[in-house]
Structure 1
Amino acid sequence: MRVGVITFPGTLDDEDAARAVRRAGAESVSLWHADRDLRGVDAVVVPGGFSYGDYLRAGAIASIAPIMTEVVAAAGRGMPVLGICNGFQILCEAGLLPGALIRNSGLHFVCRDQRLRVESNTTAWTGAYAAGQEILVPLKSGEGQYVADAATLAQLEGEGRVVFRYAGGTVNGSLADIAGISSANGRVVGLMPHPEHAIDTLTGPSTDGLGLFTSVLRASAAA
């Protein structure tokens, strides 16, 4: 399986995401923000960082980069897409996921190892987990507060599209303790914490994050 990892100006975690893809057993393919070709990949990771310096709004400029036109089209055809931190912001700005990420409720950058509860294991990126399982991954963001209107929240809850919640309550003001959500078909997932930093105990707090990357291999094989 070939998994594309996008680099925008200001991206920080592309190499970490590529390493996680390789550790899961897939081939990592580098994609540049100005590309207009996904190079035949089977899935895409939109990694974290500060794309375009977070000007306008976090993820706003990246969402209209040439590569994202291709990602949006591919997602419409069912390609799995994962957005991590800034990648989650980009997916929301691009319209692939509902809601928005705004400044943390305390207006402070939060950097900590964070427990998440897996709310849904039916997405392309969470099949390796059990529903209700808790995982430990790093969280590092200043604009990680997930917000949406009441109708959107009700739809997400009713359709089982809340994928991760902050265990023990939100640390950034996110509504309903939401840490990650999915598209209606479960192929697109965005989350604020960083699973790619939890694939090896030498460099992270656990190996719990690797499951997202092995999940998409399993989903692709079953498709």
Structure 2
Amino acid sequence: MSIRVVHGASESSFEISGQPIYFVAEKLRDILNVPTQFISYLDGRLVSNNYVLSRDNRVLEFVKPFGHKGGLPDFWSEIELFEFFGNKAMERMVEAGLDLESNSVIPKSEVISWNDWLQNLEEPRLEIPARVDIKKEIIQMNGENYHIDQEMAAIVKSILDAKGAWITTAEMQKKYPEYIVNDRVDNVIRRKLYTHKSGIGDYIEGSWRGYHLTSRKE
């Protein structure tokens, strides 16, 4: 069944089920004058541009994000994430390190980062064999569990969530204020994380820009 695609005053119906929205937008850019930056509404609800269309969908609308009343909420529940991204994208995100067990809600900044990561298919994924459970004080490296206190776990989680991008200690504290209480986060990283028996320190690089994940140091 065809899906009605709308952008402003332009609209038409197409057989596009099974395709991600960003691919449809690129395909119909000249036909419907779809802008490079857009927000997608599928059957009246906001969805990720990576959402895969199904035969049950009826109307896909592309909207310019600037000045639009609709926007991304500040915090997202697990149910909202699945509704926004779709099952296939969520499976990829969990495989890549999205932690739904330790976090009851996900901040908007992280949702945007995941959306960018999903859409940038040419960017290689930085493979770090680490999983962190802040509340249980566990870090898993290469399938093996190690004890790590909650503050260090929250720092590692902040760096992992950035997926290779630089993150400052102030941003870490803002993200996990209930866990990261030490005013000298740099000291915690240099004196504890760099020497932690799990080996996570081998994947963390620091500079004046903050900290980020890097390839394993030889």
Specify the TM-score bucket, using the shorter chain as the normaliser: under 0.3
Larger Rg over CA atoms? 2
Task: Give TM-score scaled by structure 2 length.
Answer: 0.24
Q: Which has the higher strand share?
A: 1
> Per chain length, whose mean CA-contact separation is higher, i.e. which structure has more relative contact order (CA < 8 Å, sep 6+)?
1
